[in-house]
Homo-oligomer: A and B are copies of this chain.
Amino acid sequence: MKKATLLDIAKAVNVSKTTVSLVLNNKNINVSEKTRKEILDTAKKLNYIPNSLARGLSTKKTNTIGFIVPDIENPYFSEMAKAIEVEAEKLGYSMILCNTLNSVEKEEKNARLLMSKLVDGVIICPIGEKSNSINMLKINDVPFVVLDRKIIGEKIINGVFCDNKYGIKLGIDYLIKNNKKSIGFIGGKREGREVDPRLTYFCEVANQYGILKKEIIFEEEISLIGGIMGTEKILKTENKVDAIFYSSDIMAIGGIKSLMRKDISIPKDISILGYDNIGICSYIEPELTTIGQPIYEMGKESLNLLIDIINSNASNGKEIILKPYIVERQTVK
């Protein structure tokens, strides 16, 4: 069976090819609701596939946006992707997703790919190192929004971010309220990049409160193993520890494993606080108390901002900063 054309639909419904084209492209045209419906039904029945490029050239729109993430296996990003997808759907947009596998080279390749597929705009969670991707999007006039991570050295850019400093202070205040004074912190080590800003903020705030203990602050790989290793380093010091605050949930979950294996009771002996509020927090037992990032909101806001830019309703350099919040579960008491 060969591909259905506009002409096939026109013949089947007994109208002109132009009428079919105008109806399928949702243009103003004076046809009865019955004919309109017949054309749409026939196009569906014949599996008519519009050529998005041809359509793109005439309407300048593809109603598709691209989303570039560093690692789709990381639940933080897959939850965000779902939020963007669901919200895009509501506005009549489709989303296609590209994974950079944390490589600058692949990030550039993905930006190129999305542009050549003529998406209307791109949401990008950058790897964070300086890359050519943002530059390419800029000079090609592709509307884009940066999500979650800032890019070192880039200033006036549209973006949606979360207030990390506020989140860290929230966590420390919450632990102090629960009578924790000796608080360990495990930051995330990022190869070739600046120090984890959450770790920097922790030291800053803890210092202001006069509870900073440098001996129980470590930096580890952002993974289960990283969390286990950091926790073991803290336990090996001579310090009595009331609580450990982790820069990401995935490390906190490693920490819980490591304490449970040593028969240290959570939260009776040591309280545990995570960061991000990924779905797994409530899978484990005890369930993880954490600083929640509004993951769904971040996806939704970035999509709305992008659509505003596409429709030229947003000025350049708009930054939306969202506030994190405490998610009380079972690991702090």
Contacts and interface: CB of A to CB of B under 8 A. Distances in A.
Interface stretch (A5-13, A70-78, A200-208, A320-328): A70-78
A73 B69 CA distance: 14
A81 interface: yes
B72 A99 contact: no
Contact of A94 (B82, B94, B95, B98): B98
Interface of A: 1, 3, 47, 49-53, 64, 71-73, 75, 78-79, 81-82, 85-86, 89, 94-99, 101, 106, 109-110, 112-113, 115-118, 132, 135-136, 139-141, 224, 253, 256-257, 260-261, 279-280, 282-285
29 contacts: A1-B139, A3-B140, A3-B141, A47-B135, A47-B136, A47-B139, A51-B116, A52-B116, A53-B53, A72-B78, A72-B81, A72-B82, A73-B75, A73-B81, A75-B75, A75-B78, A82-B101, A85-B99, A85-B101, A89-B101, A94-B110, A94-B113, A95-B99, A257-B285, A260-B285, A261-B285, A280-B280, A283-B283, A285-B285
Nearest to A256: B285
A47 B94 CA distance: 26
A121 to B, nearest CB: 15
B96 A97 contact: yes
